[in-house]
């Protein structure tokens, strides 16, 4: 399917690896020029090089923490206009809520609520004036299914969801959509726990880990960043203009609800 967004310009936050990288790859495949971001400049450069070589799109690399206002400004200024924004950022580490202090709570809220909102606020009016905008926020299935130890992450992402619900309806008439993707168990570094991502995982150990983690997933497997990215790309397409304000689990059926 031609997504109808060839030549559009997109920001994809935290996109040097994992789900953000999957989204960047899918958008590049659709012909979108990209501003990508990550804390590890070397890893970011490798991802950018792969995107350019495979898809021939323009790629601007902005290294650093997307919560940093200077990094945000660089991303926003990467192209004269931004048509697509994919908000993504690492969540707070697994931690018992009793161990959270004010500093940790404020950092979690800043990374997973304030930062995406700041980028949306900076870009949404320009999108509306031009009559096209696609905003996708990568949140978490924990918004629907709280996970012990990820309480701060769940709270910040749920707060972002509620914050944007009314905003999404306020710009829909100008062909700007705001939707949320809720990843479940996808095979990323975060789900691999303490495994060093720079070291190849033993194949047998990897199979055992994946089988264990997917036991309660109806699809009986972990999702991949690549298929997650394709869902994101569709939400950014010209065909998704009548879909806004939605929370879409990408979880192999793990979240059980008839409505």
pLDDT tens for 94-103 read 899 999 999 9
The pLDDT, as a whole number, for residue 192 is 67
pLDDT tens for 221-230 read 999 999 999 9
pLDDT tens for 160-204 read 999 999 999 999 999 999 999 999 999 987 766 555 556 777 788
Cα–Cα distances in Å, from 184 out to 25, 142, 160, 231? 20, 8, 18, 14
Structure tokens belonging to residue 117: 């909102």
In the chain the domains, ranked by start, together with CATH numbers, are 9-187+224-250 (3.40.50.720)
Q: Would you say 27 and 231 are in contact if contact means Cβ atoms under 8 Å apart?
A: no
The pLDDT, as a whole number, for residue 197 is 56
Query: Which residues of the chain are modeled with pLDDT < 70?
Result: 191-198
With both helix axes pointing from N to C terminus, report the angle between 18-29 and 225-235 in degrees, rounded to the nearest 10: 50
Q: Closest Cα to residue 139, out of 28, 10, 17, 248?
A: 248
**Number of Cβ within a 10 Å radius of residue 196:** 9
């Amino acid at each position: 399917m031609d997504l109808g967004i060839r030549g559009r310009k997109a920001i994809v936050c935290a996109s040097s690896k994992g789900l953000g990288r999957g989204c960047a790859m899918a958008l590049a495949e659709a012909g979108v020029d990209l501003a990508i971001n990550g804390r590890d400049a070397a890893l970011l450069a490798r991802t950018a090089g792969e995107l350019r070589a495979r898809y021939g799109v323009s790629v601007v690399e902005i290294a650093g923490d997307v919560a940093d206002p200077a990094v945000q400004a660089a991303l926003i200024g990467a192209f004269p206009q931004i048509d697509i924004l994919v908000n993504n950022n690492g969540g707070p580490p697994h931690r018992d809520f009793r161990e959270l202090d004010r500093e940790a709570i404020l950092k979690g809220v800043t990374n997973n609520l304030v930062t995406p909102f700041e980028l949306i606020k900076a870009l949404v009016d320009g999108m509306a004036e031009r009559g096209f905008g696609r905003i996708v926020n990568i949140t978490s299935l924990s918004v629907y299914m709280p996970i012990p130890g990820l309480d701060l992450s769940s709270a910040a992402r749920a707060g972002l969801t509620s914050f944007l619900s009314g905003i999404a309806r306020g710009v829909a008439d100008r062909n700007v959509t705001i939707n949320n993707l809720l990843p479940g168990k996808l095979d990323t570094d975060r789900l691999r726990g303490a495994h060093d991502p720079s070291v190849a995982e033993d194949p047998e150990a990897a199979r055992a880990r994946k089988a264990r983690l997917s036991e309660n997933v109806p699809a009986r497997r972990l999702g991949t960043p690549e298929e997650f990215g394709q869902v994101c790309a569709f939400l950014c397409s010209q065909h998704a203009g009548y879909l806004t304000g939605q929370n879409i689990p990408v979880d192999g059926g793990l979240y059980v609800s008839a409505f």
